[in-house]
């Protein structure tokens, strides 16, 4: 049966792909989005799906939220401020949009009549801090950020907090204790925990999806607070070498936005997901050096990545997803790494020059001015 669905942040990267899938599947879709300037730079994105209804307002605007929510049976809450570094100097804004914005939505679900039967919130791997590791002597360990003296000595691998041995990264499962290290990550943890607590208390089936590092078409490019694939793409398209922090062997779990959409649709359909926090990744780690090399090759440029041997404040070393829990519900990532990177590169290649400006050096100067690199 046709469902009425609200997608907050539905003009953004993940939200807009999700809207396309929902419209394709015949659902009635309402979007609430503030067209954040930092992402859209005052332009209405050309990809907005005409099959959805749009309410252009902020998630912190309770009245607009209430209007958008009218009659909706499913809510995907994707709206968020997403700059990790920026959250460290716009503390109030990040808490207001991500935590208080979610609190307003939950207040409506608790205090107003509504039809909502499912709430899916966008959580983040950032809430873990460092990933899960194994020490040959001490077993499984959950280290905090690497000590400053170690980083100053350019000794990059994570060491066992008990015995000092170098650790082996393991896939990170949902049971790992949460050690968020940025205001952004804290706001996402709050959002996740508030949503699951209210969902359980009032019997509103709620799912938190912990997204790993998402890439793909429509990823914000010129926003200097965006992820590494976008930053490297802009560098390379402008004939500049991508700059790698540390030694380039740090790793992440890069997941295509199309697989993120699949996970969201599964969370909507599957009652097995209710009241759970679930990782969404590929289960496969990729080094940052490999990202740089693959993208240089795909853009067909003769460039060598520049290894800066510097540390970016707050960065973790390794984190990749254990996807056992979501796989048990039927999820399997379908976009192979090379294929996904190629899709990204093709899309970036089609963007007008003004939208792929290389702002890396400016962002870098800002980090240095604020002493956020070492
Ligand atoms: C962070 C967040 C994540 C969020 C993502 C995008 C954490 C632990 N995770 O991920 O939730 O989705 O930002 O906002 O806070 N790098 C370079 N050169 C660059 C840029 C990045 O070498 O020019 C390296 C970084 O040092 C890091 C890796 O690439 O080791 C990934 O960085 P990034 O894309 O910013 O994502 P995360 O820090 O993993």
Q: Ligand 1 mean position to 228 CA, how many Å?
A: 6
Answer whether 223 contacts ligand 1 (Cβ < 6 A). no
The arithmetic mean of pLDDT across residues 61-70, rounded, is 97
pLDDT-based confidence at 56, cuts 50/70/90? very high
> Is the distance from the beta carbon of residue 280 to the nearest atom of ligand 1 less than 6 Å?
no
Higher pLDDT, 354 or 296: 296
Quick one: pLDDT band at residue 255, thresholds 50, 70, 90? very high
Residue 164 has pLDDT above 70, yes or no: yes
Please tell me the least confidently modeled range out of 117-131, 150-164, 309-323, 357-371: 357-371
Burial classification of residue 69, based on how many CB atoms lie within 10 Å of its CB (0-12 exposed, 13-18 middle, 19 or more buried): buried
* Share above pLDDT 90 across residues of the chain, in percent, rounded to a whole number: 87
pLDDT at 326: 98
pTM above 0.95, yes or no: yes
Centre of ligand 1 to C-alpha 5, Å, is: 31
Is residue 37 pLDDT above 70, yes or no? yes
Q: In this predicted structure, what is the pLDDT of residue 224?
A: 66
Mean pLDDT of 173-178: 98
- Contact between 261 and 21 (Cβ < 8 Å): yes
Over residues 154-164, mean pLDDT? 97
* 227 CA from centroid of ligand 1 (Å): 6
Q: Tens digits of per-residue pLDDT, 335-362?
A: 999 999 999 999 999 998 888 888 888 8
Give pLDDT, residue 355: 84
Q: Helix axis angle, 228-237 relative to 337-350, nearest 10°?
A: 50
Compute the average pLDDT of residues 275-288.
98
Strand partners, 122: 209
Among 38, 78, 80, 126, residue to substitute to test ligand 1 (most atoms within 8 Å of Cβ): 126
Average pLDDT over residues 123-142: 98
Using the predicted structure, report yes or no on whether residue 308 has a pLDDT greater than 70: yes
Instruction: Judge whether 27 and 3 are in contact, CB under 8 Å.
Output: yes
Is 90 exceeded by the pLDDT of residue 83?
A: no
From the list 104, 77, 67, the residue with the least C-alpha distance to 15 is: 77
Q: What is the mean pLDDT of residues 232-243?
A: 96
Just list the catalytic residues: 184
* Atom number, ligand 1, closest to the C-alpha of residue 225: 14
Residue 234 has pLDDT above 90, yes or no: yes
Q: Tell which atom from ligand 1 comes closest to the C-alpha of 288.
A: 29
In 226-331, which ranges are continuous DSSP H helix? 228-237, 257-269, 288-298, 324-327
Helix (H, G, I), strand (E, B) or coil at 70: coil
With a 6 Å cutoff on the Cβ, whether 233 touches ligand 1 is no
Q: Is 80 in the pocket of ligand 1 (CB under 6 A)?
A: no
Let me know how many helices (H) and strands (E) the chain has, helices first: 13, 17
**pLDDT value of residue 357:** 85
Q: What is the mean pLDDT of residues 190-213?
A: 98
Selected residue with higher pLDDT from 365 and 228: 228
Q: Which residue did the predictor score with more confidence, 228 or 39? A: 228
H or E element in which residue 195 lies: helix 183-202
Relative to the CA of 184, which ligand 1 atom is closest?
A: 15
Ligand 1 atom closest to the Cα of residue 129 is 8
Given this model, what pLDDT does residue 214 score? Answer: 98
Task: Enumerate long-range contacts of 134-140, CB under 8 Å, 24 or more apart.
Answer: 134/167, 134/168, 134/170, 135/160, 135/162, 135/163, 135/165, 135/167, 135/168, 136/165, 136/168, 137/163, 137/165, 138/162, 138/163, 138/165, 140/170
**Within its chain, how far is the Cα of 315 from the centroid?**
15
Pairing label, strands 251-252, 206-211: unpaired
């Amino acid at each position: 049966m046709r469902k009425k669905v609200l997608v907050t942040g539905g003009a953004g990267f993940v939200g807009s792909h999700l809207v396309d899938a929902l419209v394709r599947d015949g659902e009635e879709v309402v979007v609430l989005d503030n067209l954040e300037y930092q992402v859209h730079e005052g332009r209405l994105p050309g990809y907005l799906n005409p099959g959805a209804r749009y309410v252009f307002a902020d998630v912190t605007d309770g009245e607009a939220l209430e209007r958008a929510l009218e009659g909706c049976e499913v809510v995907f809450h994707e709206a968020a401020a997403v700059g990790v570094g920026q959250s460290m100097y716009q503390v109030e804004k990040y808490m207001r949009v991500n935590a208080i914005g979610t609190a307003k939505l939950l207040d409506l679900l608790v205090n107003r009549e509504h039809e909502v039967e499912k709430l899916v919130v966008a959580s983040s791997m950032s809430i873990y801090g460092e990933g899960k590791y194994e020490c040959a002597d001490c077993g499984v360990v959950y280290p905090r950020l690497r000590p400053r003296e170690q980083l100053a000595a350019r000794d990059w691998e994570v060491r066992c907090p008990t015995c000092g041995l170098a650790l082996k990264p393991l896939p990170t499962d949902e049971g790992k204790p949460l050690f968020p290290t940025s205001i952004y990550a804290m706001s996402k943890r709050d959002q996740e925990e508030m949503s699951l607590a209210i969902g359980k208390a009032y019997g509103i089936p709620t799912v938190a999806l912990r997204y790993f590092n998402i890439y793909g078409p429509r990823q914000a490019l010129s926003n200097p607070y965006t992820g590494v694939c976008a930053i490297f793409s802009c560098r390379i398209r402008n004939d500049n070498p991508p700059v790698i922090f540390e030694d380039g062997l740090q790793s992440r779990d890069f997941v295509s936005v199309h697989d993120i959409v699949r996970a969201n649709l599964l969370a909507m359909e599957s009652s097995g997901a209710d009241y759970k926090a679930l990782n969404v990744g590929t289960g496969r780690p990729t080094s940052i050096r490999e990202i740089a090399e693959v993208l240089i090759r795909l853009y067909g440029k003769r460039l060598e990545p520049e290894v800066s041997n510097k540390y970016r404040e707050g960065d973790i070393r390794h984190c990749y997803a254990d996807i056992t829990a979501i796989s048990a519900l039927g999820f399997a990532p379908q976009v192979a790494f090379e294929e996904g990177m190629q899709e990204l590169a093709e899309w970036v290649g089609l963007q007008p020059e003004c939208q792929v400006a290389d702002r890396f050096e400016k962002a870098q100067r800002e980090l240095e001015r604020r002493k956020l690199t070492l």
